[in-house]
Amino acid sequence: MTPALWIARPTLVLASLCLILVPARARAVQGINLRWTQCLGDGGDPNRAFACNTNTGGWGMHGSFELGSDMPQVIGTEIYMKLAADGASLPAWWQFANGTCRQSALSMVFLVPASDVACVDWASGQSQGGIGAYCTVTSLSCGSPPAGANVAFIKAVHAVRSELATDLTGGIEYYDFTLNISNAKTVGAGSCAGCSTPVCIVLNGIRVVDSGDLHSRFLNTPASPGSEYVTWQGGGSPEVGGVIGCPAATPTRRSTWGAVKTLYR
């Protein structure tokens, strides 16, 4: 072997070893999460069991998301949820539209609670928003009827002023909202029936919007298996569009934003 070849061959071997040892930058998991009492990363609960024995207090579902890669100049989110009761119709206890039994028992806030330490508030407490619509077969403010009398849609929006646009980092769990359900009118005079009915509540998607809406992303898959839904009283086996079981209220296939958006017009 000539000296030149003897020198070149170890050099090639060393170069190959370097390529093996230097890891490629992994793409972060992208998706959405919904949990009771805390964010997913803080150990939030997937189910809420309530004895339905008081009108005081309430329960909160914490929604969060993770991006697969960095996203600059984020100014807001659009939130899409669906719930399905285990029965032929939506109980009065879960009726929150104007003129229904518990019209003031549903609310949404966007300030991260002190208990959520793993979640990062993407808006840094500077956002505003609220529930835009709660839609059932008798209240069609979403523009199209739900899949059945036991189903309801929730649409909400959450945003900061354009000058407060922020750059988000892939792989971080970002807190987005808390959906609160009050225990009002659960027992006693004027109470609303159906608190004990099992319900499946699904975060169908979060659209993360950037300034100018040029590179917005619609997230509609769980960040980890089953992280996109929670259950009430165990969830039961609701039927939605011929599909039985929780989370029957959520699509099982990945869809483009254009396709999903038509469901809520």
Q: Considering the domain boundaries, does residue 90 fall inside one?
A: yes
Q: What is the pLDDT of residue 7?
A: 36
Query: Could you give the dihedral angle defined by the CA atoms of residues 111, 116, 117 and 120, in that order, rounded to the nearest 10 degrees?
Result: -50
Q: What is the pLDDT of residue 241?
A: 82
Q: What is the pLDDT of residue 261?
A: 38
Taking the whole predicted model, whether its pTM rises above 0.85 is answered as no
Which residue in this structure is represented by tokens 């969830």?
Answer: 235
Burial (0-12, 13-18, 19+ Cβ within 10 Å), 52? middle
Q: What is the pLDDT of residue 250?
A: 53
Residue 155's H or E segment, with its range, is strand 151-159
Q: Considering the domain boundaries, does residue 8 fall inside one?
A: no
pLDDT mean values, one per 10 residues, the chain (265 residues):
42 39 54 97 97 98 98 97 95 91 94 92 95 82 72 94 97 97 97 97 97 95 96 95 78 38 37
Q: What is the pLDDT of residue 144?
A: 63
Q: Which residues touch 107 (CB under 8 Å, ≥6 apart)? A: 131, 179, 180, 182
Residue 20's H or E segment, with its range, is helix 3-21
Rounded-to-integer distance, Cα 178 and Cα 107, Å? 8
Q: Considering the domain boundaries, does residue 2 fall inside one?
A: no
Q: φ and ψ at 53, to 5 degrees?
A: -120, 15
Q: Is 86 left (phi over 0), alpha (psi -120 to 50) or beta?
A: beta
Domain holding 234, by residue range, is 29-264
Q: What is the pLDDT of residue 115?
A: 87
Q: Let me know: does 122 contact 76? Beta carbons within 8 Å.
A: no
Rounded-to-integer distance, Cα 259 and Cα 261, Å? 6
Q: Considering the domain boundaries, does residue 1 fall inside one?
A: no
Q: Let me know: does 82 contact 202? Beta carbons within 8 Å.
A: yes
Q: Let me know: does 143 contact 67? Beta carbons within 8 Å.
A: no
pLDDT in tens, 225-257: 999 999 999 999 999 888 898 886 554 333 343
Q: What is the pLDDT of residue 10?
A: 43
Q: Considering the domain boundaries, does residue 21 fall inside one?
A: no
Q: Considering the domain boundaries, does residue 23 fall inside one?
A: no
What percent of the chain clears pLDDT 90, i.e. is strictly above it?
Answer: 69
The number of domains in the chain is 1
Closest CA to 137 of 124, 122, 123, 153: 153
Q: Considering the domain boundaries, does residue 5 fall inside one?
A: no
Q: Considering the domain boundaries, does residue 6 fall inside one?
A: no
Q: What is the pLDDT of residue 145?
A: 60
